[in-house]
Amino acid sequence: MVLESTGRALLHRLAAEQAECRVPSLVAALVRGGETVWFGARGRVSGAPPTPGTRYRLGSITKSMVAVLVLRLRDEGELDLLDPLDKHLPGTPVGDLTLAQLLSHTGGLTAEPPGEWWERTPGAPAAGLLGDLGPEIARHRPGRRFHYSNVGYGLLGELVARKRGMGWAQAVREEILEPLGMGAVTERAEPPHAQGFAVHPWADVLLPEPEHDAGGMAPAGQLWSGAADLARWAAFLAGDGGGVLRASTLAEMREPAAVEDGPSWERGYGLGLQLARHGGRMLAGHTGSMPGFLATVWTDPADGVGVLFLANTTSGVRGRLLFDLLDILAEHEPPLPAEWQPAAADADLLALTGPWYWGPTAYALRLLPRRGLSLTPLGAVGRASRFAAQADGTWLGLDGYYAGETLRVEHHPGGVHISLNTFIFSREPYDQSAPIPGGVDPEGWR
C-alpha cells in the first residue's frame, strides 16, 4: 500500500475531479507490481460511498478483451492477422479487410452501425447486424488512416463466437476473466452497480441514462466491472500475463499500429489497445464511454504500474486525471531500481563481448540474461537491438532495426565475425581478414 501522505494527495486529486466536474460517483485505483496499492472513492451510489466491488459499465475497454481473444486464436494457429475477414466471417461487405486492420481501426470502416444510436437503444443480434451492413460502411481506403470503428469490433466479436462455438462474452469469461480472477465482471448490470446518469450542463440535477443489450454490437462496449476486477486487468496489461497470453503477444498488442494525432503523436492505437505518451511514459490501455458511464485504464509496463477510474456520468471526467494520479505516485513514491546481481556467463559468450565494428562504426556487444545479446552503437549514430538466443545457436532480433532478423557468430581464417542481415561486424574497423561484402582495399588505412 502507499504511504498515508501519498494516499492523501491521491484522494485530494480524486476529490477535486469529482467536485469540479460534478460527477455522481467516481472511483480510482493504482496498481504496482501486480497488486492494488491504492483505492479511492468519492460521491454516492444508492446513498452510500462506492466500494471496489461497485460495478460500472466499462464501455470500450471491452474491445481490449475481444482483441485478446483474437490474439489467442492467432497464437493457437486458428487464424493469421493478415487473413481477410471473409476467410473466417464470410458474407460481409468488407470481407477484404484484414483482421489486423480491424483490431487497429485502420480498415476504414464507419464508426457507428446503421440505424439508431446503438448505445442508447436495444441492439439486433449479430445476424441482424450483419444483415444491415452494406457497402456504405467503408469510409476510407483500408490502411490509409486511423478511424475508430465500433462496427469493426462487432465483427470481431462475431468472428470469435464462430471460432469458439460459443458467445463472445462466454469466451471472454472462460478464457480471460476466470483465469485472471475477474469473476465479478458481468455482461449486464448486476448488483451492486451504479446507475448511469447525465448531469445537466447548467444545473446540479441528474437524468438517468438507459441501458440495453447491444446485441451484435455488444463486443464494442457491453461489460461491467468494479474497480477491484479492473485492477486485475490493469495488472495483466502491465505485464502479468497470468497464463492468458504470451508476454511477446501482449507486447505486440502494445506496439503502435496507428497514430491518432499527427507526427508528434501523443495518442495512438495498437492491436486492441489505445496508446498514450505522457511524461516520458508509453502507456497502453483503453478508454470507455457509454451513456451514463466513463472508464479508463492505463498501464506502463516499463515499471509495472497501472491506473484506472470508473464513473457514472455521460461526460465530464477530464482525461488528465489518471496522468495526474500516476505523477503523484511517481513523485511521492518513485519505484526503486531493481537490485543488480551478477549472472552466470558461458566462456564462449563472454569472449564475444566488447567492441565490434560495422565498417568504421563502433558497437558494443553485451550479454543479457538467458544467453541474450545487446548490440548498441558507441557513438551518437547507429542502430541498437536486443537479441534472444535460439535453439540452433543463432540469435533473433527483438526490437529496433534488427527486430525479426537473425544474428550469427561465424568464424573465418583470421578470427571471428558477426553476420547480421547481410551486414558483417568485425573485431577491427574493416578487418581485411573478415568477409566484408565488396572487399577491403588491400593497401589498408592511409
The pLDDT tens digits for 362-381 are: 999 999 988 999 999 998 78
Asked whether residue 274 is assigned to any structural domain, the reply reads: yes
Asked whether residue 23 is assigned to any structural domain, the reply reads: yes
Asked whether residue 442 is assigned to any structural domain, the reply reads: no
Are residues 229 and 116 part of one domain?
A: yes
Average confidence (pLDDT) over 152-168: 97
Q: Which range marks the domain in which residue 121 is found?
A: 4-332
Are residues 254 and 324 part of one domain?
A: yes
pLDDT at 338: 86
Q: Are 283 and 277 in contact (CB under 8 A)?
A: yes
Give pLDDT tens digits for 305-326: 999 999 999 999 999 999 999 9
pLDDT over 90 (residue 43): yes
d(CA 446, CA 441) in angstroms, rounded, equals 10
d(CA 283, CA 297) in angstroms, rounded, equals 10
State the chain's mean pLDDT as an integer: 94
Boundary (domain end) residue, out of 298, 332, 366: 332
Are residues 313 and 403 part of one domain?
A: no
- Measure Cα distances from 86 to 91, 93, 258, 339 in Å: 7, 9, 23, 51
Asked whether residue 437 is assigned to any structural domain, the reply reads: no
Are residues 355 and 320 part of one domain?
A: no
Asked whether residue 438 is assigned to any structural domain, the reply reads: no
**Total domains present in the chain:** 2
Are residues 73 and 157 part of one domain?
A: yes
Are residues 309 and 407 part of one domain?
A: no
pLDDT over 90 (residue 128): no
Kindly provide the b/e burial profile for residues 130-143, where b requires at least 16 CB atoms within 10 angstroms of the residue's own CB.
beebeeebbeeebe
Are residues 386 and 325 part of one domain?
A: no
Asked whether residue 439 is assigned to any structural domain, the reply reads: no
Are residues 311 and 385 part of one domain?
A: no
Asked whether residue 357 is assigned to any structural domain, the reply reads: yes
Looking at residue 189, which CATH number applies to its domain?
Answer: 3.40.710.10
d(CA 220, CA 110) in angstroms, rounded, equals 13
- Measure Cα distances from 328 to 2, 11, 14, 230 in Å: 11, 10, 11, 21
d(CA 240, CA 253) in angstroms, rounded, equals 14
Are residues 310 and 355 part of one domain?
A: no
Cα dihedral value 270, 271, 272, 277, nearest 10: -10
pLDDT at 187: 96
Average confidence (pLDDT) over 68-77: 98
Asked whether residue 339 is assigned to any structural domain, the reply reads: no
Are residues 354 and 328 part of one domain?
A: no
Are residues 397 and 353 part of one domain?
A: yes
Are residues 375 and 310 part of one domain?
A: no
pLDDT at 412: 94
pLDDT at 188: 95
